[in-house]
Structure 1
């Protein structure tokens, strides 16, 4: 699954630095205040399959615990533990509900060893289970209040982990897809419409897709793929192998096996990556009704950033710099905090 990053944070930080220099010390003070969170962050290392994974444990601002724990599962791409700081407003909201957050840099990102492009969705699930076990072993974590938060590509990981660990207290699934191939076609068609592609461009894009799928099903090597498809839109060799490991992914069987794990499904009205109607229909069909809470944000993008900010570099940068909590769709942070508070009180879906 190809994910649009939750926010182009690296580019925003460059813009932010320039703006601070332009606006002076007063603006710098405001930026510092807006980007200070009610958290205690601890750098941690989780050992898994002989490799060290670098991460952050974000604890509530005060208290000794034991706290509940939210284990983060990233979407696609080379994501570090903080997602270039994008996760911190979420960690703060969860801390207010009495939960710590654990997030690891993907293999090969930051100080984490390995290469995330070598992973299957099963590999990612095993890695997440290792993070859950690590968290439960800490004295400041309540092992009975541990759950998962994941976005986008994590939609194929979260149900696997929940199906294998029946003790998980909850799952928060943000913009997840169910079927890799179905999602890929939806994403392609949505982007073609967004770019106002001509009929000829659409036919060519679909032809390339069908050729790519045929080669994937045949187990073709990268050289054969490159020769058949080529062009600036072709995948790298590493990406080709990653897709080859994962293109058959479908979350349906794992969703059925999750049982009654309380699940918050978060969907956006301007999602070019995921067919939210298909996702919601599948989740409602496969999960017990009393275990599922659905929250839909009509003015949000795939990453739950406000749609009015998407594609607007200056407003997006100013918001990220001066009011980062306002990047998200209204209610997004509060609704997740309330969900965790209900889970802690022993309530299910609402």
Structure 2
């Protein structure tokens, strides 16, 4: 009998612990936001979006328009954006994002877009947002990561409604970024000199084909290495591989927060910071935040490189995925706009 009671007690303890853990996970994945699915009109095609508003306060709120990086991203970036949305909400801002064309059944195909197309799409979304109740049209800004660094300056140049820009790990020049990424990835996996030489040669052949306008089929027929590529992706690269932010960034007149990771193997953070500092010289216009141990996603490298740790935090404590201070520095930046 005593053994039976011990077993029942142990089982009850396990159940209580599991319920407590489950409750903690639910709590950590609840955000102080009011999210609504919206249809954004006014551009080339309707966009399936999410508008996330603060839950408290009175009167109109500002708006941060989220501009995706590369890839087939949905509106929440698989929930990755929600901690940022919550930080913006604490500063009195709503957030707007959308499924890329072709994602989640949205019309269109994001691989058919140029960086200019993406900027036009962003400006159209701003125009739509200005008509929405409760949005302050004088406090609208852009948040974007990686590839969005070529999109946002174009949009800010086109639209006087853009009052600030938050640029997370953007690059300057598409081709330079690609070469930096190639070499950094090879170095990280300790490639041999022969492997490095071969990878550079493959990359050079691909770039030459893009520069000369060859199609995917022509390149493949000539023996080109198309590993990891599709015809759509090839055309996307061919359309955008000459992207460079310098001219558009030179026309930006609004405050810019530049956030960079010191362990970024996708983008050369030092090169990006140098260019932004050289171009954005108006006193007080540029703020730079460096996270020395962070990757391209502004996640500590030790976390991102551990599938176990990153998965656990993504589920149990998603706000803790990011480098310390990352969410707060964005909240402080947007809170100061319009004061």
Whether contact under 8 Å (2:299, 2:321) holds in the other structure is yes
| Greater displacement, 178-187 / 226-235 | 226-235
Whether contact under 8 Å (2:67, 2:142) holds in the other structure is yes
Matched, 1:157 2:151: yes
Structure-2 separation of matches of 1:221 and 1:92? 44
Which residue does the alignment assign to 2:278? 285
Which secondary structure does the structure 2 equivalent of 1:157 belong to? helix
Structure-2 separation of matches of 1:235 and 1:166? 38
Matched, 1:263 2:256: yes
Gaps of 5+ in 1: 1-20, 346-350
Deviations 1:231-262 (A, max 9, x none): 5734111110000000000010000111x210
Whether contact under 8 Å (2:99, 2:106) holds in the other structure is yes
Structure-1 separation of matches of 2:179 and 2:221? 22
Which residue does the alignment assign to 1:242? 236
Structure-2 separation of matches of 1:56 and 1:316? 25
Question: Which of 134, 137, 143 does residue 131 from structure 2 map onto?
Answer: 137
| Greater displacement, 197-206 / 227-236 | 227-236
Alpha-carbon shift at residue 132 of structure 1 (Å)? 0.7
Structure-2 separation of matches of 1:228 and 1:188? 23
Structure-1 separation of matches of 2:124 and 2:58? 23
Which secondary structure does the structure 2 equivalent of 1:284 belong to? helix
Alpha-carbon shift at residue 62 of structure 1 (Å)? 1.9
User: Looking at CA atoms only, which structure, 1 or 2, has the larger radius of gyration?
Assistant: 2
Structure-2 separation of matches of 1:315 and 1:188? 26
Matched, 1:105 2:99: yes
Which residue does the alignment assign to 2:202? 208
Structure-2 separation of matches of 1:203 and 1:189? 10
- CA 1:324–1:138: 2 relative to 1, 3 Å: same
Alpha-carbon shift at residue 335 of structure 1 (Å)? 0.4
Deviations 1:183-214 (A, max 9, x none): 00000000000111111111111111111111
Structure-2 separation of matches of 1:27 and 1:221? 53
Which residue does the alignment assign to 1:273? 266
Structure-1 separation of matches of 2:196 and 2:338? 49
Whether contact under 8 Å (2:43, 2:120) holds in the other structure is no
Normalised by the length of structure 2, the TM-score is 0.92
Which residue does the alignment assign to 2:323? 329
Structure-1 separation of matches of 2:44 and 2:55? 33
Which residue does the alignment assign to 1:25? 19
Aligned residues: 323
Alpha-carbon shift at residue 27 of structure 1 (Å)? 1.9
Question: Which of 6, 21, 46 does residue 40 from structure 2 map onto?
Answer: 46
Whether contact under 8 Å (1:149, 1:171) holds in the other structure is yes
Whether contact under 8 Å (1:67, 1:98) holds in the other structure is yes
Alignment of 1:1-350 (within 5 A): 24-228=18-222, 230-231=224-225, 233-258=227-252, 260-290=253-283, 291-345=285-339
Which secondary structure does the structure 1 equivalent of 2:104 belong to? coil
Alpha-carbon shift at residue 229 of structure 1 (Å)? 5.2
Whether contact under 8 Å (2:206, 2:224) holds in the other structure is no
Gaps of 5+ in 2: 1-14
| Aligned-pair Cα RMSD in Å | 1.5
Which secondary structure does the structure 2 equivalent of 1:309 belong to? helix
| Greater displacement, 64-73 / 115-124 | 64-73
Which secondary structure does the structure 1 equivalent of 2:46 belong to? strand
Structure-2 separation of matches of 1:89 and 1:166? 28
